[in-house]
Every structure is written in structure tokens, then in C-alpha cells.
């Protein structure tokens, strides 16, 4: 989320970050190029959602 917050300068908003990192985070099992292209949009959307929700998912919670 920190990198995306500087998207005006680095041109790497949530969607661009998801496009770049998505295939590395959610590696497809198939090596068929047609299947990879078909799944690419879903992977990008899932990773973009993870970026959007990162502050909720990775905030520090006090133990007691």
C-alpha cells in the first residue's frame, strides 16, 4: 500500500502493482499460454484486492 500511495510519482497504482506481482504471487499450475491469459485478469483482481485490504489484514494487534 505504501508504494501505491506514491502512484502520482512512480506510476505504480494498485492495478499496476497487481499486474506485476500477481503472476509471481499466484503462480498458475498450467503452462498453456491460453489458460494463463484467461486467468491473468482474475489473478490481477485478487492481488489488487489484497493490496487494497492490506492495512486491515496486516495491522498489528495488541496481544493483551
CA atoms within 13 A on the CB side of 23: 13
What is the per-residue pLDDT across 26-58, written as a single tens digit (0 to 9) for each?
887 778 888 888 888 899 999 999 999 988 887
User: What is the distance between the terminal CA atoms of the chain, rounded to a whole angstrom?
Assistant: 27
Q: How many domains does the chain have?
A: 1
Residues in the chain: 64
**Residue 61 vs residue 50, higher pLDDT:** 50
The domain of 50 spans 2-54
Class of residue 6 by CB neighbours under 10 A (exposed 0-12, middle 13-18, buried 19+): exposed
Instruction: Classify residue 60: in a domain, yes or no.
Output: no
63 pLDDT tier (thresholds 50, 70, 90): low
Q: What is the pTM (predicted TM-score) of this model?
A: 0.75
pLDDT value, residue 17: 94
Q: Tell me, rounded to whole angstroms, the distance of Cα 12 from its chain centroid.
A: 11
Amino acid at each position: 500500500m505504501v508504494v501505491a500511495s506514491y502512484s502520482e510519482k512512480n506510476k505504480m497504482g494498485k492495478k499496476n502493482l497487481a499486474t506485476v506481482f500477481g503472476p509471481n504471487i499466484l503462480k498458475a499450475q498450467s503452462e498453456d499460454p491460453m489458460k494463463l491469459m484467461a486467468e491473468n485478469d482474475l489473478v490481477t483482481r485478487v492481488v489488487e484486492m489484497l493490496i487494497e485490504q492490506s492495512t486491515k489484514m496486516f495491522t498489528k494487534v495488541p496481544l493483551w
